[in-house]
Structure 1
């Protein structure tokens, strides 16, 4: 018979399936990539039992829990849990601390002749394990920051490295005011957990880790401060691409892929994308200034109409060139001047791609 486990390293290195029996509200706030929520209590029941525990103590809360576990509730829970166990016989279950809810779930499963082990310490201890590992790995692992102006192709280039972590992929956002993707962003806790798990896996081998130069926020996801510190201390690879080339790449990424994202919308994809682009431009209106924002907004309206008529996305290139020249490049240049990071290599997209593929990057973490 399989026993309960406290081997968190094995769980996260091997993506062991986890059955999270916490209430849905807890799961949404933060969980783990391999976890699925099959709660013992719904949100309302959890609140009732919490109040009972606070007012009358643990035993009263347990008694209320069993009263709430009607035949109908038990049947539904057992059906979901049994299906999970059949699909993932090597998995584990957990609640917040690995206590009452985990034991109650085990007891109900045993009533159905199913033995399924618990993660000792539950969510709270696993979360702390990942936070501790994140601190350790950001301090000890060697990073190479891939830097360059907006539209340089940084995300694609880090993926050419032997070892990399894709922060924008984890955040499901491209980082700028125009960076929304077709997927919803994770919660802050889920974002941090995935970063920690990815670094845990990367720590099993030697060699530097390529990471894209990012500001503190990627959409609504904030980089953990310890990772920000590590990135500021890491050496850089600098991509130097012409303005026009970068504008073309941005149109490909944001307009072509944006149209795909809106294919199933009630309006036409071009109309829906156009509305989103206007909203995104408005987010930086104050930083552009009133007159420049008005001019760009009018140009954007014209480009949107042209896209509707002809499906020609090249009409956006002059607008992107203006945004890069007058806003994004200036902001990035200002940050670069303040940086004291060592530059390991600089070149255009193709040169950096080749360097990342061929270089050994056997860097040591700086003292």
Structure 2
């Protein structure tokens, strides 16, 4: 059986203007295999692979055993014209919806070039990323590593938004334009109870998304970057030591919220909104019990049993009457007896100078004033 090998036209268009891609939120087609995509990709990207995981594996084995020419022939045999057609159609459909889309594979070589040529043969032209995923990823990592140097050079300084657990820091950030939401990018609320029902991004995806947010921020007129007071680790993802220390070196703005409001905010976030994420209340209960168990040692035996009893009682009342009010009891216990002492200890330990403190509205007004934007 004769295998038809793709013939490439000269000067198929490429681009390595990665900054423009970030600033314009350019849609991307990733033609790598699904297993590669799952390990790391870019925001605003769809995985429409040239080869399945199994096909890629077979070609890879062939390459190691018999060399490039044999691997190329096997690839074309596996992805023959009949197999090829629906894949090309999926690329064309994405391009219909996103005319400015670009295309990439791992190194910007054979796979993306073949995909690009097949699209051209079908009547559609697309530009591929020069250097592919690897080059774009390198660009983002280089930018991220340089932020502690380049941001001060650009006159950009971090402002750290501190405040007790439940004070509404995320709610405040949502009212500002000169901010990067680290918890949002990490898909985690930043506490023992902060995990969502759906998984966090991979470390690679977190870094890619964070770099893109900071690239866009640098192009704004804002010279103060407001970020929430976080640890270096946010759930399973983390910031580099240098970037974390740069953020932590910013001036402090402290959100002061009365306990009653903090309880209400926590109730909404960790009970009302969290329960909506799970298929059933039982699934949410299992998550919460596991979270309580993770902090059992730090709570201490007596307090752990007391909080657990308050939680179980609140859940029973909710299931029998539909009322969630009783959940305020265990929330108050955790805030006052567990989170507040930790917060007080950290604030005393760090001895950071507080630039401003106040309510959500007072801080919003302060940070939106011309001299602080």
Rounded Cα–Cα distance in structure 1 between residues aligned with 2:364 and 2:127: 46
1:354 aligns with 2:365: yes
Q: Which of 214, 236, 250 is matched with 1:199 structurally?
A: 214
Contact 2:192–2:295 (Cα < 8 Å) also in 1: yes
1:14 matched residue in structure 2: 24
1:64 aligns with 2:74: yes
The change in CA–CA distance for 1:302 and 1:227 in structure 2 (over 3 A counts) is same
Q: Which of 89, 98, 103 is matched with 2:113 structurally?
A: 103
2:141 matched residue in structure 1: 131
RMSD, aligned CA: 1.9
Contact 1:237–1:346 (Cα < 8 Å) also in 2: yes
SS at match of 1:184: coil
1:31 matched residue in structure 2: 41
1:229 matched residue in structure 2: 245
Alignment TM-score, normalising by the size of structure 2: 0.90
Rounded Cα–Cα distance in structure 1 between residues aligned with 2:226 and 2:108: 37
Matches for 1:54-203 after TM superposition, within 5 Å? 54-139=64-149, 140=151, 141-203=156-218
Contact 2:366–2:372 (Cα < 8 Å) also in 1: no
2:6 matched residue in structure 1: none
Rounded Cα–Cα distance in structure 2 between residues aligned with 1:25 and 1:187: 13
Query: Per-residue deviation at 1:125?
Result: 0.5
Gaps of 5+ in 1: 363-367
Larger displacement relative to structure 2 (47-56 or 296-305):
47-56
Rounded Cα–Cα distance in structure 1 between residues aligned with 2:12 and 2:74: 30
SS at match of 1:164: coil
2:63 matched residue in structure 1: 53
Query: Per-residue deviation at 1:340?
Result: 4.2
Query: Per-residue deviation at 1:74?
Result: 0.7
1:336 matched residue in structure 2: 347
Alignment TM-score, normalising by the size of structure 1: 0.91
Aligned residues: 357
Query: Per-residue deviation at 1:355?
Result: 1.6
SS at match of 2:355: strand
Q: Which of 262, 265, 268 is matched with 1:252 structurally?
A: 268
Query: Per-residue deviation at 1:96?
Result: 0.4
Query: Per-residue deviation at 1:326?
Result: 2.1
Q: Which of 264, 272, 278 is matched with 2:289 structurally?
A: 278
Cα distance per residue 1:234-256 (max 9 Å; x no partner): 11101122333312211121112
SS at match of 2:227: strand
SS at match of 2:337: helix
Q: Which of 241, 249, 269 is matched with 2:257 structurally?
A: 241
1:287 matched residue in structure 2: 298
Cα distance per residue 1:149-203 (max 9 Å; x no partner): 1111111112223310011111222111211335432111111111111111110
SS at match of 1:165: coil
Gaps of 5+ in 2: 1-10
The change in CA–CA distance for 1:329 and 1:217 in structure 2 (over 3 A counts) is same
1:261 matched residue in structure 2: 277
Contact 1:15–1:34 (Cα < 8 Å) also in 2: yes
